[in-house]
Amino acid sequence: MRSYTTNIKRSETWLQNIVPQNDQEEKLKQLGILFCNRIINPADLQKEEPASPQYVLQHPTTLIRMNREDLFALAQKISLSEEDDFAILQEEKGVWGQTLGGLALSYARSGDLIMVITLIRAAACLKLDHPWLTLAIQYLLSQQHSDGSFGLLESESAFSGIELTQGIKLHITIEALWTISKLS
């Protein structure tokens, strides 16, 4: 298993140093620190007995032609469900890894970090492994700043004129840490 310790310690330092501007940012900060602790100390996690899956997902390749919103919603649903709520057919596991990994790389090409993060997380929740997912994870880690936060958004900010606030950075960093916590 890949170690994310250096990345996570950097993120934890960034989170410790930021001063929340409102209640929501304070909650996100605490959530981020919780993710960091869980990633660094996975033994602290309480392992639950796997439940029977409620949904069996099929036909992974049909995801490729889904529009962004629907794909994002499905990936979030998988991530937010109880562990093992979703299952996939054993014989389709390789194609699932290939499809979600390929899609993550496709969105990486477009610089859509949120989709990359969400797809990797869904794949992790489905316990998938594929070289394309590994490559997408490398891409995700390359999007971290030296201060520990995630998201290279300066060009969007300059183009749109929207100020890159601490809240935006916090939101993306928490999403990234949540994904890495699922990988650990």
Tell me if 87 contacts other proteins by CB under 8 A: no
**CA-closest candidate to residue 2, choices 42, 34, 49, 47:** 42
Cα–Cα distances in angstroms (integers) from residue 173 to residues 24, 87, 116, 127, in the given order: 14, 28, 13, 22
User: Is the CB of 15 or the CB of 88 nearer to other proteins?
Assistant: 88
Place of tokens 């995801």: 63
152: CB partners within 8 A, 6+ apart: 113, 143, 145
Q: Is 98 in the site for other proteins (CB under 8 A)?
A: yes
Which segment (24-32, 77-85, 92-100, 148-156) binds other proteins by CB under 8 A? 92-100
Contacts with other proteins, 115-144, as mask; x by CB under 8 A: ----------------xx--x---x-----
**Rg (the chain; Cα; Å):** 17
Can you tell me whether residue 86 is helix, strand or coil?
A: strand
Binding mask 45-64 for other proteins (x = CB under 8 A): ---------------xxx-x
The footprint of other proteins (CB under 8 A) covers 60-62, 64-65, 95, 98-99, 102-103, 105-106, 108-109, 131-132, 135, 139
